[in-house]
Structure 1
Amino acid sequence: MKFDTIINQPVIETERFDLRPLRKSDMGLIEHYASDERVARMTTAIPHPLPPGMTEAFVARAMSDQRGEDIWAMDATRDNGPELIGVISLKKMDRNQSEVGYWVAPIYWNTGIASMAVEALVNTNPMDNATMFASVFQDNPASARVLTHCGFQYLGDAESYSVARGATVPTWTYSRKL
């Protein structure tokens, strides 16, 4: 696999930033933000502390032709911001469905960035899905509001393991028919 390969994944524009495929130069900001315990604790997969090599492996996986998930950087450079203010992804599922996942750098929390990114992904529907799903930890009501703001409907309660917390955490699951 070539690590500098350009991915077959669309660039999606919003009013304030672009969603673009990850690139090798994103590793520094991803590592900076993902190392923040506040970010890691609201995800299932980011450990805290962040081990060496994890960010490089994440970016390499995102750039792979055999990936099962499309991952975009929230890039604010066209609005004179940083190259990466968050990450959003679509994980392929069976039956023409996908799962949305995202995190935003804490400095951009409560600014509408997450809602704008999810809305852009839903409206573009790059995988041409019939349904998108998303889950949030129940102690993260801000992320639940992002999903309901973007037209996701509550499906039910579940649990997911959080690597950063080292525990199973109650979740709310949402879906959006497209």
Structure 2
Amino acid sequence: MSTQPTLTTKRLILRPFNYDDCQQVALLAGDKRIADMTANIPHPYQPPMAKTWIDEHTPMYQQHRGVAYAITLCDTGKLIGAVSVPRIEDGYGILGYWLGVHYWGKGYAFEASKTLIEFAKSHFALAGIKVMHLVENQRSKSVILKLNIPYVRNEISGMQGAEREVCVYQRAFKEAE
């Protein structure tokens, strides 16, 4: 069984989550603006929900089904969000991310996502990457376009008890990449 490695960028450290993160995850993800823009973060969000979510990470990684990382700042170690490939479908990693509201618009989601895609591509031998955002989530659209993942289509997806329209993006990895 391999241990999930820590990944670093110029400004960020991507590390496995631990139980000490539950309070901060609940605080950040508990903001209604986060729930409103994500497919599977409920509102309200409580620390026990964070613990249940964190419990899923190690088996997911060890069984080669995906990976989740805490996004933390290099200079302070402060947890500011999450980036993940929570599942793999037909060789494509499904990218997901969220940041605390105070960290929006600073390029952190792009930086963390780019780093995770490179790691997941080699570690899971992915054929490509797929990512979705709610139609109204223009911030997420901006991140995806910077990642150079082409738009494929819109589709209706059931999430949090409602039918929501999402934009789907997908990029195959070339052998030479």
Shorter-chain TM-score bucket reads 0.7 to 0.9
Partner Cα separation in structure 1 for residue 166 and residue 133 of structure 2: 5
The structure with the largest helix share of the pair is 2
Partner Cα separation in structure 1 for residue 147 and residue 105 of structure 2: 15
* RMSD of equivalent CA atoms: 1.9
Structure 2 stretches lacking a partner, 5+ long: none
For 2:8, the equivalent position in structure 1 comes to 13
In the TM superposition, what are the counterparts of 1:1-178 in structure 2 within 5 Å?
8-50=3-45, 53-64=48-59, 65-66=62-63, 68-76=65-73, 78-82=74-78, 84-124=79-119, 125=121, 126-163=123-160, 166-178=161-173
Structure 1 pair 45/67, CA: closer, same or farther in 2 (3 Å)? farther
TM-score by length of 1: 0.87
2:28 aligned counterpart, secondary structure: helix
2:37 aligned counterpart, secondary structure: coil
Structure with more relative contact order (C-alpha pairs < 8 Å, separation 6 or more): 1
Alignment deviations for residues 37-80 of structure 1 (CA, whole Å, 9 cap, x no partner): 0011111111111256211100111133457331100011x312
Partner Cα separation in structure 1 for residue 2 and residue 129 of structure 2: 22
Structure 1 stretches lacking a partner, 5+ long: 1-5
Aligned identity (percent) is: 28
Number of paired residues?
169
Partner Cα separation in structure 2 for residue 149 and residue 47 of structure 1: 27
TM-score by length of 2: 0.87
Query: How many angstroms does 1:145 deviate by?
Result: 1.1
For 1:3, the equivalent position in structure 2 comes to none
Alignment deviations for residues 66-109 of structure 1 (CA, whole Å, 9 cap, x no partner): 57331100011x31251x11101113324322100000110000
